[in-house]
Structure 1
Amino acid sequence: MIGLMRSELRKVITLRFWWILALVPIVLGAMSGAVTLPIIRAIDEAFGEGSDSGVANSIATLFGVVIALYFVLVFAAIFAGVNVGNEFRYGTITPSFTTTSSRDRLVAAKLAVTSVFGVGYCLVVVLVSSALLLMFSSEADAAATWPGLLGSGLLAALAWTVIGTGIGLLTRSTVATTIIVVVWCTFGEFFTAGFLSVMGATGIGNYLPVMSTIATVGNAATVNGIDGLPMWPLAPLILLGWTVAILAGGWFLTRTRDVS
């Protein structure tokens, strides 16, 4: 298993797309952390009569880091899907399967390596954006939210990396995986939730992957939680359910269908 993981790591590093996908979330994390605080402070001074700079710091921390976290989850899923899709695109999956005693072992090794990169993306982005917020702020009021935000963010990054792997195994295409992730995470789920609401299934949209992710991270980083969304521990369990279902579907098809 260790040998397979080393092989998968070499594949990722050799293709060099991992650092390109990591660059955008890191830049966005830096920008969101540096830009959000002055904007929130200006709004607070204009409409709140400068009542409490700590409020601005708290809002900026949550808003800035969560925006960065949103993009890192999307890019982690894309990275995982592209990593899997490239195997089918360039035909390297066939010799990999023929030289490995079990397809399960190969998929598990690929999943482990991509998960490390996905969690690493999240860790770097959250630390960068949080550090920049500290540079712009002398207050520490928002510090209490960081452990929950970081922990739930890492959990969400792991989940979306696995989801991206599952989608890549299902589609066997880098383009299809990227389109599915981007479309679903930007407006696809919200349109789906709206359609379900119109059809009378109000509230079901809160249990879809993106909303369960927002609930997982948001309710871990705030004291009172977010109204209308599943609370802990239900929120991460829902996200886990989606993660397992998508990965299981892709894994099953990979085990059973011809890849030659």
Structure 2
Amino acid sequence: MLLRAIRAEFAKLLTTRIWWVLAVVLFGYIAVLSGGLAALFAGIESGAIDPRAAGTGPPGTPPLGSLPPLVYSFASSVGYVFPVLLGALATTGEFRHQTLTPTFLANPRRVQVLGAKTITLFLAGGAFGAVALLASVGVGALVINAFGVDTLLGGGATWALIGRTLAAMALWASIGVGLGVLVPSQVASIVIVLAFTQFVEPLLRFASMFTSATAGIGKFLPGAASDALVGASIFTVAGPVGGVAAALDWWQGGLVLLGYAAAATIGGYFVSWRRDVT
């Protein structure tokens, strides 16, 4: 019965245009960012670009630590908003278009329906992670290699980062499902996702780097937990010099992200999923 419900959720998702539109935008967005910054930092590291002309520091300044993981991590550190939007839109669309009514008539087990949707979007989020990695690793590695810098694609640590990126993007899609159930209004969900991911959390993360007390709180923010799970992020090098923020271990970041997904989904179930949807 659960497999049948999952197949139905995949059918509902794939018959809309939103999944491939978001995937195309995700690929282009990450490809431009990864390619552009890879060219800048790899050019500085190889000596092809004068760091003083680029405004990054004096000659010989190392470009933000190990370059390839930083570039590859753009898939999740910047692209995570796309699987969140996918999960939220896939859920709020059910309320907006009243497709939940025939769904619940066909399968009155609402917990099972919500579980099937969560599993479906988890897998779809992993697929979005693959699209984002195709852009960040594919384009980024080509640019890095063009400057004669080691892409580190032969190392196990890089492939572990790639695997953890897929997991992070899948969890972000699950968080989107939970948010969509918690806030059934499609417009409100989109505004919350964009406002929090693009403005609120980046500001909170930056502010938390200045003191040890706030650093202990900031590392539990969802974006910080995601970056900890992946193991690299532009945010880890964009803070103030001598910042005190300490990241979680990768498995701790994964558990925190999973906790956000579970809390949003369970909360949404009691807030709106059990209500009359007709």
Alignment counterpart, residue 213 of structure 1, candidates 226, 230, 237? 226
Q: Is residue 238 from structure 1 mapped to residue 219 from structure 2 by the alignment?
A: no
Contact 1:57 1:139 in 2 (8 A): no
Q: Give the Cα–Cα distance (whole angstroms) in 2 for the partners of residues 134 and 17 of structure 1.
A: 29
Q: After superposition, where does 1:1-260 map in structure 2 within 5 Å?
A: 1-44=2-45, 45=47, 46-47=50-51, 49=59, 58-59=66-67, 61-136=68-143, 137=145, 138-140=148-150, 142-143=152-153, 144=155, 145-192=157-204, 202=214, 203-218=216-231, 228-260=246-278
Cα distance change of structure 1 residues 234 and 180 upon mapping to structure 2, 3 Å threshold? same
Cα distance change of structure 1 residues 132 and 156 upon mapping to structure 2, 3 Å threshold? same
In structure 1, the residue matched to 2:239 is: none
Q: Give the Cα–Cα distance (whole angstroms) in 2 for the partners of residues 152 and 250 of structure 1.
A: 27
Q: Give the Cα–Cα distance (whole angstroms) in 1 for the partners of residues 209 and 61 of structure 2.
A: 39
Matched residue type, 2:263 = A
Matched residue type, 1:204 = I
Q: Give the Cα–Cα distance (whole angstroms) in 2 for the partners of residues 153 and 41 of structure 1.
A: 22
Q: Give the Cα–Cα distance (whole angstroms) in 1 for the partners of residues 41 and 265 of structure 2.
A: 40
Cα shift at 1:135: 2.4
Cα shift at 1:128: 3.1
Contact 1:193 1:204 in 2 (8 A): no
| CA RMSD across the alignment | 3.1
Tell me the TM-score normalized by structure 1: 0.84
Cα shift at 1:58: 4.1
Question: How many matched pairs?
Answer: 253
Tell me the TM-score normalized by structure 2: 0.79
Cα distance change of structure 1 residues 193 and 95 upon mapping to structure 2, 3 Å threshold? same
Q: Give the Cα–Cα distance (whole angstroms) in 1 for the partners of residues 120 and 251 of structure 2.
A: 27
Cα shift at 1:102: 0.4
Cα distance change of structure 1 residues 232 and 199 upon mapping to structure 2, 3 Å threshold? closer
Cα shift at 1:165: 0.1
Cα shift at 1:101: 3.1
Q: Give the Cα–Cα distance (whole angstroms) in 2 for the partners of residues 83 and 182 of structure 1.
A: 16
In structure 1, the residue matched to 2:55 is: none
Q: Give the Cα–Cα distance (whole angstroms) in 2 for the partners of residues 25 and 208 of structure 1.
A: 23
Q: Give the Cα–Cα distance (whole angstroms) in 2 for the partners of residues 41 and 193 of structure 1.
A: 27
Contact 1:29 1:67 in 2 (8 A): yes
Q: Which has the higher helix share?
A: 1
Q: Give the Cα–Cα distance (whole angstroms) in 2 for the partners of residues 229 and 56 of structure 1.
A: 17
Q: What stretches of structure 2 of length at least 5 have no aligned partner? A: 52-57, 237-243
Q: What stretches of structure 1 of length at least 5 have no aligned partner? A: none
Aligned residues with identical type, % of pairs:
28
